[in-house]
Amino acid sequence: MSAATSETGQNGSSSPATDAGQTSQALWSHLRHELRTPLNAIIGYSEMLLEDADADSPADFADDLNQVLSAGRQLLAVVNDLLDAQKLASDDVAFNLESLIANLDYQARTPLNGIIGYSEILLENAAEEGREELVADLRKIHDAGKLFLGRLHNIIDVPGPNAGPKPATIKASDQSPLIASVMTSLRELAQESAAASGGETGALLVVDDNEINRDLLSRYLSRLGHKVQAAPDGRQALEMIGTGAFDLVLLDIMMPELNGYQVLQHLNDSPAWRDLPVIMISALDEMDSVVRCIELGAADYLSKPFNPVLLRARVGACLEKKRLQDLEKEQKRQLQELNAALEVRNRFIRQIFGRYLSDDIVETILEHPGGLKIGGEKRQATILMSDLRGFTAISERLPAEDVVSMVNIYLETMTDIILKYQGTIDEFIGDGILVIFGAPLQRADDAQRAVACAVEMQLAMASVNDRNRQAGYPEVALGIGVNTGNMVVGNIGSKKRTKYGVVGSNVNLTARIESYTVGGQILVSETTLKACSDIVRLDNVVQVSPKGVKEPLTIYEVGGIAGDYQLFLPPKPDVEWIEITHQLPVQFTVLEGKHVGELRYNAAITKLAPKLAEITANILPAHLSNLRLSLYDYQERLITDNLYAKVLAHRSDLPPVFQVNFTALPPEAENFLRELLNPTITS
């Protein structure tokens, strides 16, 4: 038969020999706990009284108290040695108990007599000299000595070797009252254990069913500057934790109702209490108890009687860790509040999204010690500027939170695309984006990546508008301008506020090019087109005369890019114009930059197409200029005075005729024009 078979039955249950061994080990643990509890009080109160001793103390006070302390430590060594689980054989419980009784009676008498005798002398002297502040603690030492003696008598009362045949195991009928109650508690504890396995000051909770232990530990911790509360059992401890704010719990294991294991399990199962540190302080010092407590979430484990120096160090370490955890939680809470506030402000876009850079750019800046110095350098780079067409008019009609939500949907999508093509986001200006390709890292394909990025941004507007429709927001359109040239790039600002930016005439030129776009359009300069070689698909060529530029400027409408990118916008559909039988009256003013001009002109719409109109007037506004129109119905009733458009083409008719693309259609104008288009669309 194998060793495993000899200890367990066929069904896996423990054999009598194994049960006896386990019972023996549990018995020694519990007896050690019962005997060490009064020793904890004897040693602890003696140490505190010696620390507080002064010149007014009774004669020979310190000498006699040192005798008590020495005897207490000697008695503790006897208990630890005789009840050491490693030295006790588990196969003969009765023999071990008989040996324990004989040795414990022999070795404990002398130090125990010294404790009781000297404490009585100290009590008499303190009472005679009127030192009432000493009497209470000396009485606790004396009572603890008597308690130890009583428990020693209970153990010795177990029948000896001459009382009859030696039993194979300890039976309940053979046990003293103390051991009988201990064995009952052990059975209950074993069942509970099987089910439950698995320099700072602060607010501390001491949990122990022994009043002397609670008082001793609470007083010692209070002397260290802590605010201490105490609970006599695990159930009350959980109630106090639920209603109070504690930084640390010092918890005993052997307690009625809820033992220390169960309290730990409750704390570990609760998200609110899981991070509360717990130090176990128990007379159970077997490795199994220590491991189990740590597995259940305890931060540390100390044996009774506790070492004051070690206790102070462990408590300090736990409180420091708790303080750091609380600080981290508070910082996270503050960060969440800050983010929530920034989301409803345009500053959120400038301060947070304006800091986005691709990973390699961030690493390059951080790796160089001078990366944050104020200054710049001239270099060739490609600038991309994008803007939502007519978004200013849309934002005037929507609540602020909806405007920010729409901008966030757009910027979230565009940021991912820009970083994909290794662009540096220099600035978010409302719904506008300024992106640099070629700084701080310069690459040979900067212009190509910029154009590819622009095409993918336009393609992504379909998904942006899908999200807008789902959220109940209006659709938006994007215009993009791209330009390549020499400019100054570097860190701009002051010591208090620095940003990586770009300045120069080519930056301003890029803004001009972008201003000529309509929704869905990409316009690039000739320098950008040359830098992209022949892989760009051109849909149109336009000559413009931007302010600040002496010679007319040729710009190109891009419809896609081949090569490694293979990105193309869908072909533009043929325009199907609808003749207006009775001309619609309009009035328009020319926008100069972002400002409305002073002159107002009468005109009329003669043809319509989706988002397009042909207008006749006495004057021709400049090609690609922006207009603000007032639209009237056939009875000359005002439909809206917030209709925005861009001039696309002229016809040399008399009177003059020009075409416009509507860049911002308020709902009332959109509904009115849709009704005019419907008959042809549905026929």
User: Per-residue pLDDT for 352 more than 60?
Assistant: no
**Do 197-326 and 347-568 come out as alike in CATH topology?**
no
Tell me phi and psi for residue 621, to 5 degrees.
Answer: -70, 155
Phi, psi values for residue 160, rounded to 5°: -85, -170
Lowest mean pLDDT among 55-59, 529-533, 543-547: 55-59
pLDDT in tens, 328-341: 888 888 877 776 76
pLDDT band at residue 367 using 50, 70 and 90 as cut-offs: low
Provide the pLDDT confidence category of residue 47 given band limits of 50, 70 and 90: confident
pLDDT digits (tens, 9 = 90+) for 298-326: 888 887 777 777 888 889 888 888 888 88
When pLDDT is averaged across residues 539-560 and rounded to a whole number, the result is 87
Q: How do residues 629-645 score in pLDDT, each as one tens digit?
A: 999 998 889 999 888 99
72 is written with which tokens?
């207490």
Give 269-308 pLDDT, tens digit per residue.
888 888 899 998 877 766 788 888 888 888 888 877 777 7
- pLDDT tens digits for 235-259? 999 999 988 889 999 998 888 888 8
CA distances from residue 283 to 30, 36, 42, 164 in whole angstroms, order as listed: 9, 6, 14, 33
Task: Note whether 89 and 42 are within 8 A (CB).
Answer: no
**What's the pLDDT score for residue 460?**
96
pLDDT for position 362: 54
Is the pLDDT at 227 greater than 50? The verdict is yes
Q: Above pLDDT 90, what percent of the chain?
A: 30
Burial class (CB in 10 A: 0-12, 13-18, 19+), 117: middle
HEC string for 622-644: CCCCEEEEEEECCCCCEEEEEEE
Least confident of 36-40, 263-267, 567-571: 36-40
Q: Rounded mean pLDDT of 601-605? A: 93
Q: What is the mean pLDDT of residues 439-466?
A: 94
Which 3 state secondary structure label does DSSP give 298?
Answer: coil
Domains of the chain, by residue range, sit at 17-194, 197-326, 347-568, 578-682
Sign of CA dihedral 532, 534, 537, 541: positive
Cut 0.75: pTM above it = no
Would the pLDDT of 142 be above 90?
Answer: no
**Closest among 509, 522, 609, 611 to 561, alpha carbons compared:** 522
Cβ neighbors of 540 (< 8 A, separation 6 or more) are: 556, 557
The three-state secondary structure class of 288 is helix
Average per-residue pLDDT for the chain: 79
Q: Are 642 and 394 in contact (CB under 8 A)?
A: no
For 414-421, what is the mean pLDDT?
Answer: 93
- For the residues 104-110, what does the mean pLDDT come to? 74
Residue 649 in this model has a pLDDT that exceeds 60: yes
Write the pLDDT tens digit of every residue in 66-96.
Answer: 888 888 888 888 877 777 655 554 444 444 5
Residue 194: predicted pLDDT: 38
Collect all residues with Cβ–Cβ distance below 8 Å to 312 and sequence separation of at least 6.
Answer: 224
| Domain 197-326 sits in CATH 3.40.630.40 | no
What DSSP string describes 83-149?
A: T-TTTS-SS-HHHHHHHHHHHHHHHHHHHHHHHHHHHHHHHHHHHHTT-HHHHHHHHHHHHHHHHHH
Report the CATH number of the 347-568 domain: 3.30.70.1230
Output the CA–CA distances (angstroms, integers) from residue 301 to 259, 275, 311, in the order listed: 15, 17, 10
Q: What is the pLDDT of residue 179?
A: 44
From the candidate CATH numbers 2.40.10.220, 3.20.20.70, 1.10.10.10, 3.30.70.260, the one assigned to the domain spanning 578-682: 2.40.10.220
pLDDT beyond 80 at 561: yes
Q: pLDDT at residue 4 above 50?
A: no
pLDDT at position 274, please?
Answer: 84
